[in-house]
Amino acid sequence: MGNQAKDDFLYQEMCRVVGKVVLEMRDLGQEPKHMVIAGVVRTALANNKIQRSELTRDAMQKVVTALSGQS
């Protein structure tokens, strides 16, 4: 049961991350295509100056993996 709750939190965080990127891209007049979103999240994840929770880092990595077709 603990794993299901963690998976649910991870999924919710993944949705939050993608939603934030899509809205920011829209505000900048860019078309939010899946590979572009993956690139934005990958770049943000590489920025070690910003402290993120483990949940957010995991979610960001899973978003990159899911959108770029990596395994």
The 10s digit of each residue's pLDDT in 5-57 is 778 999 999 999 999 999 988 899 988 888 899 999 999 999 999 999 999 99
CB-based contact 16:62 (threshold 8 Å): no
H or E segment and range at residue 2: helix 2-27
Separation of CA 66 from chain center: 9
Range of the domain at 27: 1-68
- Structural domains in the chain (count): 1
CB atoms within 10 A of CB 65: 13
Distances (CA, A) of 2 to 8, 15, 54, 57: 10, 20, 17, 19
What does the angle CA 65 – CA 44 – CA 26 come to, to the nearest 5 degrees? Answer: 90
pLDDT range class, residue 69, cuts 50, 70, 90: confident
**Whole-number pLDDT of residue 61:** 93
Res 70 pLDDT > 70: no
Task: Give this prediction's pTM.
Answer: 0.78
